[in-house]
């Protein structure tokens, strides 16, 4: 009597699957992570709702998540904005990442499959291409993807989440730094890292991860020292 096939015909909305607040969260998160929203810039819920052409309820939920993750902070009583890092903040982040990156790098090396190494090598090549092309956005995305994949390989979800969350804090500043000094002469310990992973040298991989992190963080710290001296 009724057509059961009708449902499949009238259902091209498989793309609607992820809820709106999730989509908005992801978009805002990426925009913060890759520095498209400048540190210190104020955001309003209604402004975001208009800009992303969404209702304000999903925007509110996305903002709650991001403030809980430290990617946004309450400014005064009513507004939120991307926080501006201080030199002390960077020292804390360096201290935490020292432990996190080296440990995750070590575990990832112990667990890496050949397929994973192939994929990591591909990502690193994309990073190289972005550096040569001076493509800032692609560099930042690729660099993050490289570390994120290592976190994933490490099979330590809690530590990986802690590491990911720190990216949200220094990401905006990283963008400013790289945008200032250009994508040339960037530190890249990724080659060392890959070589250690291929040979199973987990201690060396931990050292490479730590050094790669340190070089990037030192650049941010130098910039912050300069701008704080200006005041």
190 CB neighbour count, 10 Å cutoff: 23
Lateral strand order in the sheet of 79-81: 42-43, 79-81, 73-75
In eight-state DSSP terms, residue 44 is: -
Measured from the CB of residue 157, what is the shortest distance to its own copies in angstroms?
A: 8
The residue among 75 and 121 lying less far from DNA, judged by its C-beta, is 75
Part in contact with DNA (CB under 7 A); list of ranges 77-85, 138-146, 180-188, 219-227: 77-85
Determine if 61 is a binding residue for its own copies (CB under 8 A): yes
Determine if 41 is a binding residue for DNA (CB under 7 A): no
Q: 155-162: list long-range contacts, CB under 8 Å, 24+ apart.
A: 155/107, 155/111, 156/103, 156/104, 156/107, 159/100, 159/103, 159/104, 160/104, 162/96, 162/100
Q: Which two tokens stand for residue 189?
A: 């310990």
Residues 66-95 interacting with its own copies (rule: CB under 8 A): 67-70, 88-89, 92-93, 95
Residues 158-187 interacting with its own copies (rule: CB under 8 A): 158-159, 161-162, 166, 169
Measured from the CB of residue 169, what is the shortest distance to its own copies in angstroms?
A: 7
Can you give the binding site for DNA, defined by CB under 7 A? 2, 13, 16-17, 19-22, 44-47, 54-58, 60-61, 76-79
């Amino acid at each position: 009597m009724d057509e059961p096939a009708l449902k499949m015909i009238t259902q091209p909305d498989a793309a609607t699957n992820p809820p709106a607040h999730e989509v908005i969260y992801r978009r805002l998160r990426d925009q913060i992570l890759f520095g498209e929203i400048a540190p210190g810039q104020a955001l309003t819920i209604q402004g975001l709702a208009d800009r992303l052409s969404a209702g304000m309820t999903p925007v509110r939920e996305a903002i709650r998540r991001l403030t809980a993750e430290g990617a946004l902070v309450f400014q005064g009583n009513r507004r939120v904005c991307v926080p501006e890092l201080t030199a002390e903040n960077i020292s804390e982040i360096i201290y935490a990442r020292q432990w996190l990156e080296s440990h995750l790098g070590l575990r990832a090396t112990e667990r890496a499959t050949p397929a994973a190494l192939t994929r990591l090598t591909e990502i690193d090549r994309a990073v190289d291409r972005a550096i040569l092309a001076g493509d800032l956005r692609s560099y930042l995305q690729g660099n993050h993807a490289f570390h994120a994949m290592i976190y994933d390989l490490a099979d330590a979800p809690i530590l990986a989440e802690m590491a990911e969350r720190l990216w949200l804090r220094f990401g905006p500043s990283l963008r400013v730094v790289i945008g200032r000094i250009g994508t040339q002469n960037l530190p890249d310990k990724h080659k060392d890292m890959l070589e250690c992973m291929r040979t199973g040298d987990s201690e060396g991989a931990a050292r490479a991860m730590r050094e790669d992190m340190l070089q990037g963080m030192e650049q941010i710290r130098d910039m912050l020292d300069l701008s704080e001296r200006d005041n």
